[in-house]
Structures are given as structure tokens and as C-alpha cells.
Amino acid sequence: MVQDLGSFPRPVLAALTAAERLLTRRSGAGIVLADPEDLGGSDRSVVARARVARNPFSLPRTLVVKHYLGRPDPDRPDPFHYEVASCQLFTALPADSRPSPVLIAHDPQARLLVLEDLGRSSTLADKLFGPDPAAAQRCLLSWARALGRMQAATAGRENDFGALLRRLGERAWRDPMAEDARVALAGVAGLLEQQLGVVVPEAATVEAYETARLLGGTRYRAFSPSDTCPDNNLVTSRGVRFVDFEWGCFRDVALDAAYFRVPFPGCEASFALPPGMAESMLEAWRNEIAAVWPDLDEPERLDRRLLHAQLLWVWLCTWWLLPRISVRDKPVGQDATRSPRISTALGHYWREMARSAAAGGLPATAELGTAVADALGRRFPDAPGSLPVFPAFRSVA
């Protein structure tokens, strides 16, 4: 029975009660949890921390419980299965290569996971919105290294991931972004003309379609959490750790490394990075993956793949975000204090894309990027003309 209930919401207490039953059944002796702490979650799940008050075995002193609410959509992959398979994959890795909490137990019927508690850690978002630019810079570099380390550790393990998903009842698995990306490639040209009056040259469409090769079975595939927004990365004493694997998948590593350039595409916290930061993050990431993919240490090859990944994300973010401002401009996320306006974010994406495309030999995309950014400025003249850097860097900008 969960102790020290206080005034906690019923879903939190239900999650911890289910965790007690699971741990008791698993150990054969009574496990009691106490001092619940609501860690938030989402509209799909409850996440809570609890102290193990009665522990006849060697359980950790505290645990984190994640309880999925409701039943899965029968026509879509079950995010619970993806999270369990991801955590199982990581738990089997050596401790120094493990990018996530250890999975202690799970119950498919109750749709429940019991995880290692990484402590009362700040998130990467906390650091980026905090007062210390040096700490924010260290955490961004740590995040880039952790991303590369995770990709290097999971290279060649896609079949293992597939086997884990099959054991949980998933017959097929794919990158959840890939389907949206293909739709975006087909639809963005029409959307830009309809919403902004920008006619996309055929050459720019051809250049964009070349990026679809990143969505297939390339030689550079590794695990991706899919959602690596700043809120889903914990800053611990062992470096940055990833959480939330509801859409975990295997995909080309350039698609996540392109987060340095866009940055954090489509995330609520999608502010700009200070000058030179993206290059430093790329170098930190490349040092971790070079031993696994030595040919990606060739600047020309890597730059081309990152350019295509950046372009794919810009088209996809346009497909996601532009329809949301067909009537009026609004923030990317619900909290306007922690999220830029959509027109400003998209303008930044396209303006940076124009610069990268001009340097990378995609002239039609360079021309299109400038046209889209200018059109957004004309459509929303009261919006900030440029995307601010993350708050941590504003005092030194």
C-alpha cells in the first residue's frame, strides 16, 4: 500500500499501486512504496518517483514509475511497446554505454514500466533557459556527445530491436517521422504557394526529393529516441541521459545530428544557438561516432548528408507548422515564454537553409529559402525579425 498519500492525483496513486503489485509479484515478497512525487508525464502517461519503504530485496532506494493511460490505437503502433523495447535494448548495454535509465520491471497488461531513478536532475531545457551561459554550453556539448555515444553503441543492433518489438506484439517497426516526411516532400510546394504565395521552382523540389534517401536503409543507421527535444534530456553527474522513448526507432544518424543546425526542429523550445555552437556540437558528436563510421570523418561526405538532413527537417517543419498560422501567428508550443512564434522559427529555418544550400551547392534551395523567409516576414510584419538565442545566452549575445 502506497504510504504518505497526501493530496496526490488519483492517476499517480494508481500508477504506484500498480507498481507495488508488479514488484511484489516479481520478487515474491511485499514491496511498499512511499513519498510519491509527481514528475508530470503527458496526456498519454503518468510519471512519478517513489521511495521504496519496504524492500526485502536489493531494489534501489527510489524508483520511477511510468504508467500509460488508456488503451492503444489498434490502427497505430503502440508507444508503450516502443518504450519497453528501447529500454530493454539499453539495459542490455554496458553501463558506460547506456544512454538511459535501466528498466527494472514492466507489465504489458497494466501498461506500466518501473525504471531506475536518475535523481532530481535538471533537464537540458532548464539549462538553456537558466542564467548560466557556461553551464548551458557544457550541457549542449554533453548532449551532442551522448547522442553520438548512443548511436555508436546501437549501430548494428536494429535486428535486436526488431526482435524485442516482435516479442511485445509489434509486427513491423519504422521511423514515425518518415511517413510525415514523405508526405511533406509531396505537399510543401502546394502549401507554400497557397499560404505565402511562394512558387517553388521545380529544381528546388528535385533537390528536396534527394533527401528521401535518408529515410531508407542506409549504412549509417542507429537508434534514435525520435523526440530529443530539450525537455527529454536529463543532465546527470554521468552526463546527459535520454528519456521518453515512445517513438524510439532506428534511422540514419544524420537526421538527429541535423538538430545542431536547425536547431531542435519542431520542438517547443526551438530557439537559436549562439555563433560557433553548432560547429562545436558537431565536432563533439563526430568524435563519438568516427570509430564506428570512419568515412563520416570525411568533411565533404558528412557535410552533404547533414545538408540533406537539414533540408528534410525544414520541409517537414514547414508541413507541420505553417498550417497552424493560416489565420494568425502563434507560439510553437503552449507556453509563449518558452517558445518562439511559428513565423519566426520557420523564417529562421528557411534563412539558415538558404545559407547552407548556397554553400553546399543547392542553388534552387538557396533561392527558395530566401523567398520563403522574406514572405513570412511580409505576412507577419509584427513578428520578431530574427530568432533569439536560447535565454541562457542572451546576456552575452
pLDDT tens digits, 191-240: 999 999 999 999 999 999 999 999 988 899 999 998 889 999 999 988 89
What's the CA gap between 184 and 320, in Å, rounded? 8
Query: Do the Cβ atoms of 308 and 210 come closer than 8 Å?
Result: yes
For range 101-107, the mean pLDDT = 95
With b for 16 or more beta-carbon neighbours within 10 A and e for fewer, the 55-67 pattern comes to beeebeebbbbbb
Computed over every residue of the chain, the mean pLDDT equals 92
Residue 292 has pLDDT above 90, yes or no: yes
Of all residues in the chain, the percent with pLDDT exceeding 90 is 76
pLDDT in tens, 311-322: 999 999 999 999
pLDDT greater than 90 at residue 76: no
Listed in order, the ranges of the chain carrying CATH 3.30.200.20 are 10-116
Over residues 323-361, the pLDDT tens digits come to 999 999 999 999 988 999 999 999 999 999 999 999 999
Residue 75 has what DSSP assignment? T
The C-alpha cell that represents 237 in the structure block: 553527474
* List of residues 6+ apart from 268 with CB closer than 8 A: 229, 231, 331, 332, 333, 334, 335, 338, 339
CATH-assigned architecture of domain 10-116? 2-Layer Sandwich (3.30)
- Which residues of the chain are in CATH 3.90.1200.10 domains? 122-396
Segment 302-307 shows an average pLDDT of: 97
Name residue 239's beta-bridge partners. 236
Does domain 122-396 correspond to CATH entry 3.90.1200.10?
yes
